[in-house]
Chains A and B, each alone.
Chain A
Amino acid sequence: METEITQQATKLRPASANGRAFASGLGTALPFLALLVVGVAFPLFGGGYWGVIATRACVYWVLVSGLNLVVGFAGQIAIGWVALLTLGAYTTSVLVAGNVMAPLSPYLALAIAALVGAVFGLIVGLPALRLRTFYFAITTLGFATIVTQVALAWQSVTGGGVGVPGPVFPEPFSSQWGFYYFCFGFAAVCTWMTANIAESRFGRALAAIRDAEVAAEASGISKPVLLGKVFLFAGATAAVAGGLFASLQSYITPDAFTLDLSILFFIAILIGGRSSILGPLLGTILLTALPEFAAPLVAWSTFLYAVLLLIIVLAIPGGISEMLDFKNRRALESNRAIVPRPELVARLFDSVPNAGTLTLDQVTLSFGGVLAIDGLDLEIRPGQLHGLIGPNGSGKTTTLNVISGYYAPQRGAVRLNGKAIPALARDQRAHMRIARTFQTPRIVGSATVLENVMIGGTIDGNGTFVESLLSLPRHRRDEAMLRDTAMLALEAVGLERLASVRADRLQHAELRFTEIARALMLRPAFLLLDEPAAGLSAEEIARLSALLQAIARAGTGVLVVEHHPDLIFDICDQVTVLNLGRTLAAGTPAQIRSHREVVNAYLGA
């Protein structure tokens, strides 16, 4: 199945686009290659002192690369991550010094520190799932203080205020440049691994959690599971960075792990920009090297970092990566038209979805004292277009939200093929092949249109997080499959020319069609559309109709919530009219159009 779609997609993609793709790939890789060359050749032109600074930058980057996934990609405001640096530094040093058990080899100690860091990364990060942003930020600060206090108090192990010598790595890493290459190696590997994640379904899913959480859930992305993996990884890299830091310092005391360091890591990511590897990498190098240029700068360094942060937040929230994004400065053609190709829809589906019927069975939902839905019966059959109309406040969107799993009805149930589906399992809907679009388009503005669409197919990837980290074959197959399917979906909705454009540059109508393409990635058995025609021109509505009809013909059961009765009457097989949460009328368009009560309450003469 994959190969067939890949073949179709390659046929559709002109040869020049292939060449362009290669060139843009090289363009993305070029800065990294340049840094790699500079880094490897550094000992040749950098003196001993700058070697220490360069080593320090590499060590910091090892931590920041992992934290970048948490802060830059997933958007979690984890300010106190220095706690994990402290943990890693002490674990490695204590194990090598032999304060707790027989001394271990530094490599083994570093590996153990990574494991400890992973576990604690999870512990520190998990409150993010329960707490609001600001609360989570404060708790991470609290963790940072706690770890330092414990290091001070646990004298028998950590030496307390006296501290403990850092590990010395054996030849060839014990000389200055040997150790530099050791740290540089880790930094390079971390860059590679996190770049792999960035270009994987996990990286896109993280961005979705950050910028369009509702859409992420609808695409089947489980926030706890994904964040858990990322916290494990970020904790591990931070701990490894800690071990390297302890070795670089040659001696660690609790007061070496200041809040200022935490701020440095955090700000490096923010000035670097979100969903970027290069940005935070440059940010880390900049912030590590900046204070060294002038002695007064050392005292004012944290002040400068804060000023930089403020400027970035107010002026360039996208950070360095946005400044370097030359591709997206090019003007887009004006008077763009969205020309869907409905005939391509069928090619997306390899088989007719066969999940039975989706029914609402006497669903009743109230919010406090307000009765939003009162005993609603609804049936969506495969291959059918079902319209849901009614005045404002009649409960149309609420009905969609009940099906999506945002609210649990007090009475009644949503059934798939007769069996009730769990009321609040929002991220399970995608697995049931129930897809939806939203009243206001929920997209990741900083990602390209293609990436946004690929988010829709996240659950169809088979590779694990680790396989993506290491760019193993299954990850690459997933990427190829998702990319080709997404391109096909974009062709079908008529947006293929905008595939590599940042989504926040699109017009409103284009965003709506993008959401449809994203929903199509699931080859949905049921597609729920929330006012898809709002803000569309007459021409676009006509094209939307043709597209929706093609989707229904491919076997999907489509539920359209709409304000434009014309669209509904044109294409729907069945129409339900809601008023004040109750069914006012249900039937074919012809029946509804002439229904007296509907005309009185809603349609007018």
Chain B
Amino acid sequence: MPLTRRQALASAAAAVASTVAKPAIAAKEPILIGYLPALTGPSSSTGVGINRGIQLAVQEINAAGGIDGRQIELITRDTQSDPTKAVNGAAELTRGQKVSVVFGPVNSGESLAVVPLLARTNTPQVHPCWVDTLTDPKKYPMCFRNAPTNQQIGGAANRYVVDVLKHKKVAVISDTTGYGTASVNAYVPMLKAKGAEVVYQSNVDAANPDLKPEILRMRSAGAEAIMPWSVNAGFLSRIINTRGQMEWNVPIVGQTTLGSGQTQALLEKPDYWAKVYPNNFRPVCYTPDGKLTDRTTAFLDRLKSAKIEMADTLLWWIALGYDSPRMIAEAMKNVGSEAEQIVGYLNNLKEFPGVYGDMSFTPDRHDGYPDEEVVMVEANSLKNGAFKLAPGYSA
């Protein structure tokens, strides 16, 4: 909700007052940032990747003196991919530990439960989950998303399948998590609006060892492309493997995890990874002439010197994890660590320079990722953590 001038003045005054009025001892207290990743469980690939970036960023910020001399203390509660544990963890972070801001959860299913809860306790929250309903400046004024929305992601993928690859009959498959279900529900109408025919749509238990029945049904229905939406590497690898075993030569276009090192490790044959086109983000991809941006190159160097593993995950997760505390630290450095201050700053953030994307928010739009940076890449072009753009993909 837009700040009135009075509110803006009041928060500015409060910011000044708090910086001045703080006694010397209190100024050295650590800044508590709550962190709700899924480090274990079926949807942990995102969390594990993000975690590497976030730990590095916090170390760097603290090594450089923290925020106005105050060190950042990251209080982690593993949600285990379970919405119930996410709620427990969120309750503990806000009521028990009294953190200033929460980063996470990183999976939509968990955020669906946690976002309303944090709104009730008036805790600022930044999360990277994609499901569209997870930000709402009116309902959740303190909640910000530093990642794309399902609309942005699905838009890019659907455009690639229908407009670039020119396939009209599409099979959409997801797992039974909140993220998977919401994605199918969002993308099927989008495809139909583009004039495509959805010949198969289904939510399948991610742990199902045998996806042959599903792929066979897709083939019988005449699908020309498979679009999977899941962060479960095992599930995605089984889709890719079954397509390969059946020697069915259709493209697979969908979730970024299709390109993760974890998925790659579970493939039966390396050549199964051909014709797989996941989402990714332009700043961390090779340009058509095979180059990376300077910022990304520098980041890769930093990862190498910190000995951070990349081969079993995705670069953009690590980058997102890296950018998030830096953005929050930037806010606190400028206006202080009170909730209203942080929210006020973020509401007016313009192009915060991140490795994986420049974030911008307004009081009416709490989705910070720019549309044009969502791209499609070719999975088996993976080299040093980055991908090449998918064939035929221009914008």
A47-B95, A47-B96, A254-B176 known; A161 and B203 CB under 8 Å? Answer: yes
- Whether, in the assembled complex, B109 has its beta carbon less than 8 Å from a beta carbon of chain A, the answer is yes
Which one of B40, B174, B178, B185 lies within 8 Å of A253 (CB-CB)?
Answer: B178
Give bound CA distance, A295 to B76, whole Å: 10
Find chain B residues with CB under 8 A from A258 CB. 82
Q: Are B83 and A253 in contact (CB under 8 A)?
A: yes
Find chain A residues with CB under 8 A from B117 CB. 250
A161-B203, A162-B181, A251-B113 known; A48 and B96 CB under 8 Å? Answer: yes
Find chain B residues with CB under 8 A from A47 CB. 95-96
- Whether, in the assembled complex, A66 has its beta carbon less than 8 Å from a beta carbon of chain B, the answer is no
How many residue pairs between the two chains, A and B, have CB atoms under 8 Å in the bound complex?
89
CB distance from A123 to the nearest CB of B (A): 25
Which one of B40, B82, B96, B131 lies within 8 Å of A255 (CB-CB)?
Answer: B82
Q: Are B83 and A255 in contact (CB under 8 A)?
A: yes
Q: Are A162 and B112 in contact (CB under 8 A)?
A: yes
Question: Which of A48, A51, A162, A176 has most chain B Cβ within 10 Å?
Answer: A162
Q: Are B182 and A52 in contact (CB under 8 A)?
A: no
Q: Are B95 and A49 in contact (CB under 8 A)?
A: yes
Number of chain B interface residues as a range: 20 to 34
- Whether, in the assembled complex, B228 has its beta carbon less than 8 Å from a beta carbon of chain A, the answer is no
Q: From residue 71 to 107 of chain B, which have CB atoms closer than 8 A to chain A? A: 77-78, 80, 82-85, 87-88, 91-92, 94-96
Main SS of chain B's interface residues?
Answer: helix
| Nearest neighbor of A176 in chain B, beta-carbon distance | B95
- Whether, in the assembled complex, A249 has its beta carbon less than 8 Å from a beta carbon of chain B, the answer is yes
- Whether, in the assembled complex, A163 has its beta carbon less than 8 Å from a beta carbon of chain B, the answer is yes
Give bound CA distance, A163 to B109, whole Å: 8
- Whether, in the assembled complex, A152 has its beta carbon less than 8 Å from a beta carbon of chain B, the answer is yes
A255-B83, A298-B85 known; A163 and B96 CB under 8 Å? Answer: no
- Whether, in the assembled complex, A17 has its beta carbon less than 8 Å from a beta carbon of chain B, the answer is no
Find chain A residues with CB under 8 A from B120 CB. 250
Main SS of chain A's interface residues?
Answer: helix
| Nearest neighbor of A251 in chain B, beta-carbon distance | B113
Interface readout for B341-369 with A: 1 if CB under 8 Å, 0 if not? 00000000000000000000000000000
Give bound CA distance, A159 to B203, whole Å: 12
Q: Are B116 and A165 in contact (CB under 8 A)?
A: yes
Give bound CA distance, A162 to B109, whole Å: 7
Q: Are A251 and B180 in contact (CB under 8 A)?
A: no
Q: Are B116 and A250 in contact (CB under 8 A)?
A: yes
A161-B177, A161-B178, A161-B180 known; A256 and B203 CB under 8 Å? Answer: no
A49-B95, A52-B95, A160-B203 known; A155 and B83 CB under 8 Å? Answer: no
CB distance from A43 to the nearest CB of B (A): 12
Q: Are B178 and A162 in contact (CB under 8 A)?
A: yes
Q: Are B182 and A251 in contact (CB under 8 A)?
A: no
| Nearest neighbor of B77 in chain A, beta-carbon distance | A295
| Nearest neighbor of A153 in chain B, beta-carbon distance | B203
Q: Are B95 and A249 in contact (CB under 8 A)?
A: no
Find chain A residues with CB under 8 A from B77 CB. 295
- Whether, in the assembled complex, A299 has its beta carbon less than 8 Å from a beta carbon of chain B, the answer is yes
Q: Are A249 and B84 in contact (CB under 8 A)?
A: yes
Give bound CA distance, A256 to B84, whole Å: 6
Interface readout for B167-193 with A: 1 if CB under 8 Å, 0 if not? 000000011111111100100000000
Give 10 CB contacts A-B under 8 Å: A48-B91, A152-B176, A152-B203, A155-B185, A161-B176, A161-B177, A249-B113, A250-B87, A251-B87, A255-B82
The chain A residues found within 8 Å of chain B, CB to CB, are 47-53, 152, 155, 159-163, 165, 176, 248-256, 258, 295, 298-299
Top 4 nearest A-B pairs (CB, nearest first) are: A48-B95, A161-B181, A49-B96, A251-B113
